[in-house]
Amino acid sequence: MQNDTITEKRDNHPFRMNWGNRLLLVFVVFGSMISYMVWRCMETPVDLVTKDYYKDELVYQDVIDGARKAAALSGSVILRQETNTISVQLPPEMRNTQVSGHILFYCPSDVARDRNLPLTPDAGGRQEIDTHRFLPGHYRVKIGWESRGIRYFSEQPFVIL
């Protein structure tokens, strides 16, 4: 008679499951977690470095040559953030010369933050850029310019506060 009482108490427990139901519950929870992770991955935006990645890769030798020529100058490009501006100072050899080119502020985490601006330095080789165009964050600043028929290239990390 005592064995029947013990058995009845076990069967009346509200969270009691047999091994089949437990296994089914584990599979359902696992499948739900995997489905959630797949959904999150599909919702995450994935941007390429540039839209014309393959075309840019074909002319990359020009970038390498320009970086080598820029490294041979007496100084490097200096980027400095001031109160409301970003100051770009070209090497001393670029003073009082005709310079044309572009400045790309590349944000690796968000393509919407990228800014491509014309390089128009003054006679001292300096250009001021208003910081109101940018959101704070980490950028790679890529500067390509031409002076006296020679192409130069400089790239450096920069943080806008």
Q: Taking the domains of the chain in order of start, what are their residue ranges?
A: 2-43, 53-160
Tokens of 64: 């390498």
pLDDT score, position 23: 92
CB atoms within 10 A of CB 81: 15
CA distance 97 to 87: 19
User: Is pTM beyond 0.85 here?
Assistant: no
pLDDT score, position 10: 54
- Of the two residues 15 and 110, the one the predictor is more confident about is 110
pLDDT band at 4 (very low <50, low <70, confident <90, very high): low
Which tens digit of pLDDT belongs to each residue from 113-152?
A: 899 999 999 999 999 999 988 999 999 999 999 999 999 9
Class of domain 53-160: mainly beta
pLDDT score, position 72: 93
Which tens digit of pLDDT belongs to each residue from 51-95?
A: 676 677 777 888 899 999 999 999 999 999 988 899 999 999 999
Burial group, residue 115, by CB count within 10 angstroms (0-12, 13-18, 19+)? middle
Instruction: Using alpha carbons, select from 12, 43, 17, 44 the residue that is nearest to residue 28.
Output: 17
pLDDT band at 111 (very low <50, low <70, confident <90, very high): confident
First to last CA, the chain: 79
Provide the residue type at 27 as one letter: F
Instruction: Using alpha carbons, select from 152, 40, 135, 39 the residue that is nearest to residue 99.
Output: 152
Tokens of 39: 């959904």
Regarding beta strands 99-106 and 137-147, do their DSSP bridges make them parallel or antiparallel, or are they unpaired?
antiparallel
